[in-house]
Amino acid sequence: MSWSRSYPREWLEKVPAEVFACLRAGELQILLHPGNGLVNGSAPHDVPAALVPPDLWVPNTPLWVQLDESLRVIRVWRREEPTAGE
């Protein structure tokens, strides 16, 4: 049986993520929804390095990711963390 329903658009437009590592040439592994799930889990996802600006390739960099209906990454940008007191 296949999944026929799609996710709400707002769930795909701004997904929290974090850079994990560059394990294969031309690809970065990112973690979607870092810190959620059992034992600080997350969902690993391989992304073409060309989609991620080079200054964001550093491990543990917080990101926002936009996904398409097939859950493929189509856009990546820096997630600015709020400073203390905000």
More confident residue, 60 or 86: 60
pTM of the model: 0.77
pLDDT for 37-66, tens place per residue? 656 678 889 999 999 999 999 999 999 999
12 — phi, psi (to 5°)? -100, -20
CA distance 54 to 5: 35
Q: What is the pLDDT of residue 69?
A: 87
- Give which of 72, 75, 54 is closest to 64, Cα–Cα: 75
pLDDT for 19-39, tens place per residue? 999 888 999 999 998 877 656
Q: What is the pLDDT of residue 63?
A: 94
User: How distant, in Å, are the alpha carbons of 10, 52, 68 from that of 71?
Assistant: 13, 16, 5
